[in-house]
Amino acid sequence: MSTPFIFTRLLSAMFGLCFTALSIAEPVAQSDTGLYGQFTEVNQSLLSFNSPYQGKNSLDPANKNASTTDLSLFAGVRTGPGELWANPEIDQGFGLSNTVGIAGFPSGEAYKVGAYTPYLRLPRLFYRQVFNLGGEAQSIAPAANQLARTQTADNVILTIGKFSVVDIFDSNTYAHDPRVDFLNWSVVDSGAFDYAADAWGFTRGAALEWTQAWWTVRGGFFDLSTIPNTTVLDPTYSQHEWVAEFEERHQLSGHPGKFKLLTFINQGNMGSYAEALQLAGQTGSTPDTALVRHRASNSGFGLNLEQELASDLGVFARASINDGSYEAYEFTEINRSLSAGLSLKGDRWGRHDDHFGLAAVANGLSADARAYFAAGGIGILIGDGQLPHYGSEKILETYYTFPIKALDGLALTLNYQYIVNPAYNRDRGPASIIGMRVHKEF
């Protein structure tokens, strides 16, 4: 049975469930249109660090400054029982060292592609429909990519189209949005979650979320790139990702918290680290996973915790792991990751709208991946040409955000990251990166 046929049957089943739910849904209050915008600029500077040698994908000590800018529009309209959203966006700029050199890259606003001049793209174009199943009525406030509505506590939500997998999966109240909280890739997302995406972080697919009382179950089917880490998605969906997540909600001494368990499997043409090393040994060349790609699967798991401790203080933690036998397909070279941190509002020093964040993360490679990079292999983000002394990549990130009250919706953020063993290399670093973010919503 072909993958497109399976996908069609999956969507048919989703719609069947949703329209059954619709028959018992109650009328909901709703807005018919939504229009929002945002502007974000991130500037980062790399301080001098130890760099005795460099490879193709090394963090470059001479590339000391980087800047990215994006201007987004969030336009939504009620379309019958659902809502349709489009997010045209103008981007410009590059990450440090052209977004390579660190597995837990320091800016979630930096993509794997860039340009010195502004360019237009459409990262999101999706349809969402909510089906009420009963329970207490809830008011949903209008926001970017969300029309005002009421919905019941028990519901089913269908999202289909082009968007980011992490718009729906692996979310966390305190660490998930590089435009307003932490910047590091392996803090805002689970480091070992190799989620389906083009080089900008977006894909096509469908997700279904079923909420009952204290729990939600999510499932999704998404398109992988035609070739790992490229800008073109597979038009046939023969290379794809399945992802599922269970979310539990609770109260701890009257404070809300969530626990999530995520699993995913990528199915496509990908290269084995061991096979690349074997071929290189036979030919006397540098190992290259592109030369040994074939149909295979790569899977992983993630745990995600968030807990409010006080009205102004919350903590979070993530742990993730993937198979590690095959090359990273879309995200970055992290086979295991552990992160934790806190988010504190400024109430305790008389500035309610200020935010302080502190997080630490440790990323690691599988044994196969270590051997590949030690032999000179190159990956999506890392590749120093050698890796004689492996060490876990350890990152400390802190930020402070304060609004400019005279300019409604404008906020400035100061950010600092300290990275030990960048790209898992104990011969290089540690590296310090200071940054400033300007964010405006309108």
- Span 250-277, average pLDDT: 98
CA distance 11 to 388: 49
pLDDT given for residue 30 in this prediction? 61
CA 9 to chain centre: 28
Q: Over the stretch 214-249, which tens digit does the pLDDT of each residue have? A: 999 999 999 999 999 999 999 999 999 999 999 999
Q: Over the stretch 336-358, which tens digit does the pLDDT of each residue have? A: 999 999 999 999 999 999 999 99
pLDDT given for residue 407 in this prediction? 82
Asked if pLDDT for residue 21 goes beyond 80, the answer is: no
DSSP letter assigned to residue 47: P
What domains can be seen in the chain, in order of their start residue? 3-441 (2.40.160.180)
Asked if pLDDT for residue 22 goes beyond 90, the answer is: no
Percent of the chain with pLDDT over 70: 93
DSSP letter assigned to residue 288: -
Name the band, by pLDDT with cuts 50, 70 and 90, for residue 24. very low
pLDDT given for residue 144 in this prediction? 95
**For all residues of the chain together, what is the average pLDDT?**
93
Residue 293: half-sphere exposure toward Cβ, Cα within 13 Å: 15
Instruction: For the beta carbon of residue 114, count every other beta carbon within 10 angstroms.
Output: 17
What residue type is assigned to position 164 of the chain?
S
Tokens 């005795």 belong to residue: 52
- Strand 240-252 and strand 65-79: pairing? unpaired
C-alpha triplet 396, 397, 400: angle, nearest 5°: 150
pLDDT given for residue 189 in this prediction? 98
Contact in structure between 34 and 76 (CB atoms under 8 Å): yes
Q: Over the stretch 269-295, which tens digit does the pLDDT of each residue have? A: 999 999 999 999 999 999 999 999 999
Question: b/e map of 151-171 (b: 16 or more CB within 10 Å)?
Answer: bbebbbbbbbebbbbbbbbbb
